């Protein structure tokens, strides 16, 4: 199966658009709770990892409908999403430590 450059570009642009939406939280009608946004992001990472595991399992079992390219792209997507989640967690922990160390 060939990787279609235009389809990959469209998907990357859609993901970029999704990442920009949280910056519009202050816009009227778009206010969302931070915990809801964080929960949604974590659930998205979990879904990506489960999808990758499913594709990997199907490929290993010899399913001809699943190509190596699909498995590798899915693995990269879930890996990047997981790393981004870890970075957000690290920033939150750093912010918490900073606040806790502030003199009262």
Q: Is 1 a member of any domain?
A: no
pLDDT per position as a tens digit, 20-48:
655 554 555 456 787 888 888 899 999 99
The interaxial angle of helices 68-100 and 34-60, nearest 10 deg, is 150
Q: Is 11 a member of any domain?
A: no
What was the pLDDT predicted at 86?
92
* Residue ranges making up the domain that contains 60: 36-104
Domain total of the chain = 1
Q: Is 8 a member of any domain?
A: no
Q: Is 13 a member of any domain?
A: no
Residues 64 and 58: their CA atoms lie apart, in Å, by 9
Residues 19 and 40: their CA atoms lie apart, in Å, by 12
Q: Is 4 a member of any domain?
A: no
Instruction: Say if residue 1's pLDDT is above 50.
Output: no
The residue to which tokens 């918490």 are assigned? 96
Instruction: Name the more confident of 21 and 99.
Output: 99
Residues 8 and 74: their CA atoms lie apart, in Å, by 12
Nearest to 37 by CA among 88, 86, 99: 88
Q: Is 79 a member of any domain?
A: yes
Residues 101 and 76: their CA atoms lie apart, in Å, by 37
C-beta of residue 52 within 8 angstroms of C-beta of residue 78:
yes
Q: Is 3 a member of any domain?
A: no
pLDDT per position as a tens digit, 79-90:
999 999 999 999
- Supply the pTM of this predicted model: 0.63
């Amino acid at each position: 199966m060939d990787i279609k450059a235009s389809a990959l570009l469209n998907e990357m642009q859609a993901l970029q658009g999704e990442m920009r939406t949280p910056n519009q939280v202050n816009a009227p009608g778009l206010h969302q709770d931070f915990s809801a946004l964080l929960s949604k992001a974590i659930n998205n990472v979990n879904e990506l990892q489960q999808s990758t595991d499913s594709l990997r399992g199907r490929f290993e079992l010899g399913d001809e409908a699943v190509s190596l390219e699909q498995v590798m792209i899915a693995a990269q997507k879930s890996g990047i999403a997981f790393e981004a989640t870890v970075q957000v967690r690290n920033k939150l922990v750093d912010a918490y430590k900073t606040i806790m160390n502030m003199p009262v």
